[in-house]
Amino acid sequence: MSPSLLSVAGVTKRFGGLVAVDDVSLEVAPGEIVGLIGPNGAGKTTLFNMMAGAFPPDRGDIVFDGHSLRGRSAATICRLGLVRTFQIPQPFGSMTVLETIQTAALLHDRSIAASRAAALAIARRVGLEGREASPTPSLTNAQKKRLEVARALGANPKLILLDEVMAGLNAAEVARMLILVQQLRRDGVTVVLVEHNMEAVLRVSDRLVVLETGRKIADGPPRSVVEDPAVIRAYLGEGTEEDAA
Ligand SMILES: Nc1ncnc2c1ncn2[C@@H]1O[C@H](COP(=O)(O)OP(=O)(O)OP(=O)(O)O)[C@@H](O)[C@H]1O
Ligand SMILES: [Mg+2]
């Protein structure tokens, strides 16, 4: 077994009386694409928030690339190479596409010229060439999703956490995003993606991890996970179609 790039061990997070993430453990190997799925409110984004250092777990530990993330800020975790996108794209005010990506690149590259060159290359890589000078509010939803990925790439990640980057995209845009995700892996970036678009997540994932009301209920090869009776039960009665693009 290859050593894990990310190791989540017995992680729990409560919000008042609600246990949003309940004793979850999982491993991510270098080079993997892992799909993290589950019904609305299952705890997927909360788990991402803890991995990315938005807030610490109440219990358990997360180890990334040999470093315990305990007590580390989001900025430090980002510098270690673990970077997330936001479920709701969060463009920085009226900055342009290039400025947004360059701001992330400046985290590890103090030179303005080098960070600008890196940002230009990333804009091309995610398919935003020609839009470098556009103010971010003028982008389409699909372009904003690609900018989220670009901003994450600006930080030069080893592991990227993608939170619903296909939500609201049409079929052609989803296909484009899937190509980008596969390209990330070829570039040596490990990927964990939260996604409600089941067809898309099945197409791209090496492995699926399923959460339901905070607990991990399945972890394994995609085809066997989707046939798991516990997983089918978790999704029955859930309005997941609304998210299918
Ligand atoms: N900051 C918070 N304060 C209080 N409750 C929260 C907070 N963040 C999440 N929750 C609750 O924790 C549970 C898990 O939420 P989370 O956003 O992690 O789910 P999710 O799996 O990402 O869902 P979705 O698919 O709808 O994005 C939900 O019941 C949610 O209402
Ligand atoms: Mg979420």
Examine the pLDDT at 35 and tell me if it is beyond 50: yes
Examine the pLDDT at 240 and tell me if it is beyond 70: no
Question: What is the average pLDDT score of the chain?
Answer: 92
* 158, 78 Cβ separation under 8 angstroms: no
At 2 the pLDDT is 62
pLDDT category of residue 244 using cuts at 50, 70 and 90:
very low
Q: What is the pLDDT of residues 138-148, one digit of tens each?
A: 999 999 999 99
Residues with CB under 5 A from ligand 2 (ion): 44-45, 87
At 186 the pLDDT is 94
d(CA 170, CA 21): 31
At 84 the pLDDT is 92
At 108 the pLDDT is 77
Q: Does the beta carbon of 92 sit less than 6 angstroms from any atom of ligand 1?
A: no
Q: How far is CA 56 from the centre of its chain?
A: 18
Arithmetic mean of pLDDT, 94-115: 89
The best mutation among 13, 18, 48 to test binding of ligand 1, ranked by most ligand atoms within 8 Å of the C-beta, falls on: 18
Domains of the chain: 6-64+73-90+151-243 (3.40.50.300)
* 69, 53 Cβ separation under 8 angstroms: yes
Arithmetic mean of pLDDT, 117-132: 95
More confident residue, 157 or 93: 157
At 3 the pLDDT is 83
At 110 the pLDDT is 77
At 31 the pLDDT is 96
Q: Does the beta carbon of 18 sit less than 6 angstroms from any atom of ligand 1?
A: yes
At 94 the pLDDT is 81
Share of the chain above pLDDT 70, in %: 94
Q: Does the beta carbon of 41 sit less than 6 angstroms from any atom of ligand 1?
A: yes
Q: How far is the CA of 241 from the centre of ligand 2 (A)?
A: 16
Q: What is the pLDDT of residues 195-229, one digit of tens each?
A: 999 999 999 999 999 999 999 999 999 999 999 99
Q: Does the beta carbon of 40 sit less than 6 angstroms from any atom of ligand 1?
A: yes
Examine the pLDDT at 242 and tell me if it is beyond 50: no
Q: Which ligand is nearest to the CA of 13?
A: 1
Q: Does the beta carbon of 15 sit less than 6 angstroms from any atom of ligand 1?
A: yes
Q: Which ligand is nearest to the CA of 21?
A: 1
Q: Does the beta carbon of 20 sit less than 6 angstroms from any atom of ligand 1?
A: yes
Q: What is the pLDDT of residues 61-73, one digit of tens each?
A: 999 999 999 999 9
User: Which SS3 state, helix, strand or coil, does residue 142 take?
Assistant: helix
Share of the chain above pLDDT 90, in %: 85
Q: Does the beta carbon of 42 sit less than 6 angstroms from any atom of ligand 1?
A: yes
Examine the pLDDT at 1 and tell me if it is beyond 90: no
